[in-house]
Amino acid sequence: MAERTLDHVALVVADLEATARWYVEALGFREAYRETVAEQGVRIVGIDAGSAVIELLEPLSKDSPIERFRGDAKSRLHHIAYRVDDIAVELARLKASGLRLIDETPRKGAHGNTIAFLHPKSTGGVLTELCERSER
Ligand code: CO
């Protein structure tokens, strides 16, 4: 099995600009990218955290599932993503091992990456993502 690397930690936040500014001005991180992913209904700011990224998600709609997940919190941990070299191979391996998947086939994620979510019921309650990085 390939060496494991954390790719990103994603937080759903109430105020994207204020939270991004806080990471940059208070904590000294650098903003790496920002984009809107319409398919997932979120605006995203990626904070460069060395070998990994802190991804801030702000829902585009007030009645989206991800916004309901946030609830009354200003921010809440949404998922943890680990990086894989070949997502199709890893997904097939996990499926064969009996792990429950949300995405049976990989799909397009933020920042041009290919992703797939594993079901929290199979991951100890934490929404977990596989992430194959695009060449960039
Ligand atoms: Co993610």
pLDDT in tens, the chain (136 residues): 677 899 999 999 999 999 999 999 999 999 999 999 888 889 999 999 999 999 999 999 988 889 999 999 999 999 999 999 999 999 999 999 999 999 999 998 888 899 999 999 999 999 999 999 987 5
Give the position of tokens 């903003």: 31
Q: For residue 96, report the distance from its CA to the centre of ligand 1, in Å.
A: 23
Q: For residue 100, report the distance from its CA to the centre of ligand 1, in Å.
A: 18
Q: For residue 109, report the distance from its CA to the centre of ligand 1, in Å.
A: 7
In the chain, where do the E strands start and end? 5-13, 30-37, 42-49, 52-59, 75-83, 107-108, 114-118, 128-132
Q: For residue 28, report the distance from its CA to the centre of ligand 1, in Å.
A: 22
Number of compact structural domains in the chain:
1
Q: What is the pLDDT at residue 4? A: 82
Strand partners, 76: 12
Q: What is the pLDDT at residue 1? A: 61
Q: What is the pLDDT at residue 136? A: 56
Chain-centroid distance of CA 33 in Å reads: 14
Q: For residue 129, report the distance from its CA to the centre of ligand 1, in Å.
A: 6
Q: For residue 11, report the distance from its CA to the centre of ligand 1, in Å.
A: 9
3-state secondary structure (DSSP) of residue 8? strand
Which CATH number belongs to the domain containing residue 92 in this structure?
A: 3.10.180.10
Residue range of the domain that includes 102? 5-132
Q: For residue 25, report the distance from its CA to the centre of ligand 1, in Å.
A: 24
Q: What is the pLDDT at residue 109? A: 87
- The CA-atom distances, in angstroms, between 80 and each of 25, 53, 63, 117 are 24, 10, 23, 10
